[in-house]
A and B are shown apart, each in its own frame.
Chain A
Amino acid sequence: MSAPAMLSPEVRARLRTLRLAPRLARGDRGFGLHASHSRGAGLEFAQYRAYEPGDELRQVDWKLHARSDRWFVREAERDSPLVAWIVLDASASMAQADEARPDWSRLDAARVLAACIAEVALRQGDHAGLLAAGGDALRLVPAAAGSRQRERLQHELVRIEAAGGMPDQARLGPVWERVGPDALVVVLGDFLDPALPELATRLAAARREVLAIQLLTVAERDFPFDDGRRFIDPETGQALPGDARALRAGFLARFGQAQRELHARFDGAGIRHAVHVLGEPLLRPLQALFGAGQGSAGE
């Protein structure tokens, strides 16, 4: 999958309607697109405030001082660049595909979604980075901006292969080192293994803005089997032989319950989330999370 093939021009055009808009971002890292809530030197006038010792003299509004005989400091909003981190689950369960379309796995969908997010971030001048965790490996593309970064990210995305289980928390140390506070973290995964929801909630609790896109297969949503099957967990290798018809009702009930619990947990942690089932339009979760009316408008 080459970089141009990963995102078609049509998809790129539709991505223009999307914006990465953090709720928590602060304007202390230079100029950028995002309205921050820290006041300071900038272009857009925000408010006047009383002079305090230590303020720069050039920030004092002398005209106002002439009219009111008081010192006011002119404050402006500062635009700051955002750091968007894409955390990709690359455990073996991501290789699962549906029988109707065996060549389109969860990981394939996650690659395209990650490329889309990176495209949106880089186009609006923000930094984007990638963390792919699966098996023993933790693949990393440091956050940066620019078109070279786009190619680096796509190059890395193509090389990711789903294998092994989710690394334990100790191996996820680089996540905490790299993902600074106030970064935007988009977690792409199936969230079936409890390690990934755990990571997401911990990141959210540590003042990172976390968004979760859950990738499910049609088999998990509908359980469309009606014959004898031997279900194999790709990560643990456990097998469960059974008649699918007899298993369906119980599975759908329990899985639905687990999903509701997961979503409640996300909501409780302030994680915005969306679900993508393989075969549905890919951009729908992105529009739900980053489309107009989302992001800063939610404040």
Chain B
Amino acid sequence: MTPVLLLPLGLAALAALALPLLLHLARRQQQRPTVFAALRWLQARPRPRRQLRFDEPWLLAVRLLLVALVALLLARPALQGVVDARPRLLAVPGIAPAALAQARARQDVEARWLAPGFPPLDVAPPSGPHPLASLLREFDAQLPAGVPLTVLVPARFAGADGGRLRLAREVDWRVVEGEALPATAQVQAPVLAVRHDDAHRDAARYLRAAAIAWRDEDDGTMPDVAASTRLPAPGVTLAWLHAGQLPPELLQRVEQGAQALLAADAAWPDGVEPAAAWRDDAGQPLLSAARLGQGRLLRFERALAPAEMPQLLAPEFPHVLRELLQPPPAPTVVGAVDYAPEAGAVAVAAEPFDLRPWLALAIALLALLERWLATSRRREEGA
């Protein structure tokens, strides 16, 4: 445990120590005129005595200490090497209750959930899918080097990412029994409804063809294509092939979470920031997307005609369009044994323990003491 100054230049403020010294000296030199008729007995042996003496030594000492502490505060004092060396245990939410109870019973470790905020193990596990791999890297980076870490993982868990786990320490990676993962729901193909005007009658055909291609089996249902401005029932993806401004009902529906495909001559509503989502081989944007509320607006950047946009005729067009509307989730479920972390990451230096809050508290108390000393002295004189 070493006390260090993170900003030693702040000690230059110690020069301000001269201030209270001068104040107390100046008060000495200031001599109060006093009427004194018996002067002749004073004058008998005038002794010009110049002595370096300070008034009110206690008040001076407190003031000097106050200035010194403020200078120290500016120099940002800290303690290096303050390490909480208790072993840590992290439990991945979803481990079996037996293993959890066993982990809770251990007294020699500090046990936490591997979840955002790392709540203690005594509370209920936070729900929801978490980026467990990222959280584990974060916890490892914040943990001082050399502190042992145990992780309890179920045999299969979700929350992994594409990178291998490389941590700064050897982790005791214990695979325990886990609860069954919820089955991933089968993703339904989006249902497309097309509303177009006369100018986009031909363009609607390509979208209709794509929607037919999305069907899982040929059940004979046909996409809802109409040359009108009437909105379809909620819950479908709407292709709005009209030029100009979007109707407010449509914008409202998008803000509540729907997606809408727009023709190239539709106008973006105010306040959206579109970005290219699909480019052709030359890098020119074919489709731009923009968030609006909880939903999304996607606009073709070219007219939906093969002459303008040959990709319409490509066999993979329905697939590409579906992925744009329904981005496939990244695989996150891994087998715990295969995902065991390896050591070798560079350990981050431990952050020194900041002493400034405590120093500020001491300064505040000392300032109170100084005021008390100064004012009580004044009271005494006034009495």
Known: A230-B31, A230-B32, A251-B42. A242 touches B47 (CB 8 A): yes
Are A240 and B39 in touch, CB under 8 angstroms? Answer: yes
Known: A96-B36, A190-B37, A241-B31. A231 touches B49 (CB 8 A): no
Known: A242-B42, A246-B49, A247-B47. A235 touches B34 (CB 8 A): no
Interface: A192 (CB within 8 A): yes
Known: A241-B31, A243-B51. A232 touches B36 (CB 8 A): yes
Are A219 and B36 in touch, CB under 8 angstroms? Answer: yes
Partner of A232, one of B28, B29, B34: B34
User: Which residue of chain A is the closest to B32 with respect to CB atoms?
Assistant: A229
Task: Please report the C-alpha to C-alpha distance between residue A131 and residue B31 in the assembled complex, in whole angstroms.
Answer: 38
User: Which residue of chain B is the closest to A250 with respect to CB atoms?
Assistant: B45
Interface: B46 (CB within 8 A): yes
User: Which residue of chain B is the closest to A93 with respect to CB atoms?
Assistant: B37
Interface: A258 (CB within 8 A): yes
Interface: A234 (CB within 8 A): yes
Interface: A2 (CB within 8 A): no
Partner of A233, one of B31, B36, B47: B36
* Chain B residues within an 8 Å CB radius of A250: 42, 44-45, 47
Interface centre among B35, B37, B39, B41 (most CB of A within 10 A): B37
Are B33 and A230 in touch, CB under 8 angstroms? Answer: yes
* Chain A residues within an 8 Å CB radius of B284: none
Q: How far is the CB of A186 from chain B (nearest CB, A)?
A: 21
Interface: B105 (CB within 8 A): no
Are A258 and B41 in touch, CB under 8 angstroms? Answer: yes
Contact indicator per residue, chain B 2-35, by CB within 8 Å of chain A (1) or not (0): 0000000000000000000000000011111111
Are A228 and B38 in touch, CB under 8 angstroms? Answer: no
Interface: A45 (CB within 8 A): no
Find residues 239-255 in chain A having any chain B CB closer than 8 Å to their own CB: 239-243, 246-247, 250-251, 254-255
Interface: A48 (CB within 8 A): no
Are A242 and B37 in touch, CB under 8 angstroms? Answer: no
Are A242 and B34 in touch, CB under 8 angstroms? Answer: no
User: Which residue of chain A is the closest to B29 with respect to CB atoms?
Assistant: A228
User: Which residue of chain A is the closest to B37 with respect to CB atoms?
Assistant: A93
Task: Please report the C-alpha to C-alpha distance between residue A117 and residue B43 in the assembled complex, in whole angstroms.
Answer: 36
Task: Please report the C-alpha to C-alpha distance between residue A231 and residue B49 in the assembled complex, in whole angstroms.
Answer: 15
User: Which residue of chain B is the closest to A99 with respect to CB atoms?
Assistant: B34
Interface size for B (C-beta < 8 A) is 24
Known: A232-B33, A241-B31, A247-B47. A227 touches B55 (CB 8 A): yes
Q: How far is the CB of A269 from chain B (nearest CB, A)?
A: 22
Q: How far is the CB of A135 from chain B (nearest CB, A)?
A: 15
Interface: A225 (CB within 8 A): yes
* Chain B residues within an 8 Å CB radius of A220: 36-38
Q: How far is the CB of B125 from chain A (nearest CB, A)?
A: 73
Interface centre among B35, B40, B47 (most CB of A within 10 A): B35
Task: Please report the C-alpha to C-alpha distance between residue A99 and residue B32 in the assembled complex, in whole angstroms.
Answer: 12
Interface: A68 (CB within 8 A): no
User: Which residue of chain A is the closest to B47 with respect to CB atoms?
Assistant: A246
Are B39 and A231 in touch, CB under 8 angstroms? Answer: yes
The secondary-structure label for the interface of chain A is: mixed
Interface: A8 (CB within 8 A): no
* Chain A residues within an 8 Å CB radius of B46: 240, 242
* Chain A residues within an 8 Å CB radius of B33: 229-230, 232, 239
Task: Please report the C-alpha to C-alpha distance between residue A235 and residue B39 in the assembled complex, in whole angstroms.
Answer: 10
* Chain A residues within an 8 Å CB radius of B35: 95-96, 232, 234
Task: Please report the C-alpha to C-alpha distance between residue A246 and residue B49 in the assembled complex, in whole angstroms.
Answer: 8
Q: How far is the CB of B104 from chain A (nearest CB, A)?
A: 71
Are A228 and B47 in touch, CB under 8 angstroms? Answer: no
Contact indicator per residue, chain B 52-96, by CB within 8 Å of chain A (1) or not (0): 000100000000000000000000000000000000000000000
Known: A240-B46, A242-B47. A229 touches B31 (CB 8 A): yes
Q: How far is the CB of B43 from chain A (nearest CB, A)?
A: 6
User: Which residue of chain A is the closest to B50 with respect to CB atoms?
Assistant: A243
Task: Please report the C-alpha to C-alpha distance between residue A254 and residue B31 in the assembled complex, in whole angstroms.
Answer: 23
Q: How far is the CB of A191 from chain B (nearest CB, A)?
A: 10
User: Which residue of chain A is the closest to B44 with respect to CB atoms?
Assistant: A254
* Chain A residues within an 8 Å CB radius of B38: 192, 220, 251, 255
Are B43 and A234 in touch, CB under 8 angstroms? Answer: no
Partner of A192, one of B32, B37, B48: B37
Task: Please report the C-alpha to C-alpha distance between residue A227 and residue B48 in the assembled complex, in whole angstroms.
Answer: 14
* Chain B residues within an 8 Å CB radius of A190: 37
Q: How far is the CB of B193 from chain A (nearest CB, A)?
A: 96
Task: Please report the C-alpha to C-alpha distance between residue A258 and residue B49 in the assembled complex, in whole angstroms.
Answer: 25
Are A255 and B41 in touch, CB under 8 angstroms? Answer: yes
User: Which residue of chain B is the closest to A243 with respect to CB atoms?
Assistant: B49
Q: How far is the CB of A109 from chain B (nearest CB, A)?
A: 14
Are A251 and B32 in touch, CB under 8 angstroms? Answer: no
Are B41 and A228 in touch, CB under 8 angstroms? Answer: no
Known: A240-B39, A242-B42, A246-B49. A229 touches B34 (CB 8 A): yes
* Chain A residues within an 8 Å CB radius of B41: 251, 254-255, 258
User: Which residue of chain B is the closest to A220 with respect to CB atoms?
Assistant: B38
Partner of A240, one of B28, B37, B42: B42
Contact indicator per residue, chain B 136-175, by CB within 8 Å of chain A (1) or not (0): 0000000000000000000000000000000000000000
* Chain B residues within an 8 Å CB radius of A246: 47, 49, 51
Q: How far is the CB of A239 from chain B (nearest CB, A)?
A: 8
Known: A233-B37, A246-B47, A246-B49. A228 touches B30 (CB 8 A): yes
User: Which residue of chain A is the closest to B36 with respect to CB atoms?
Assistant: A231
* Chain B residues within an 8 Å CB radius of A251: 38, 41-42
Q: How far is the CB of A285 from chain B (nearest CB, A)?
A: 19
* Chain A residues within an 8 Å CB radius of B51: 243, 246
A-B contact pairs, 30 of them (CB 8 A): A93-B37, A217-B37, A219-B34, A225-B34, A227-B31, A228-B30, A228-B32, A229-B34, A230-B34, A231-B36, A231-B39, A232-B33, A232-B34, A232-B35, A232-B39, A233-B39, A233-B40, A234-B37, A240-B39, A240-B42, A242-B46, A242-B47, A243-B49, A243-B51, A247-B47, A250-B44, A251-B38, A251-B42, A254-B44, A255-B38
Closest 8 CB pairs of A and B: A93-B37, A233-B39, A228-B31, A231-B36, A254-B41, A230-B31, A255-B41, A230-B33
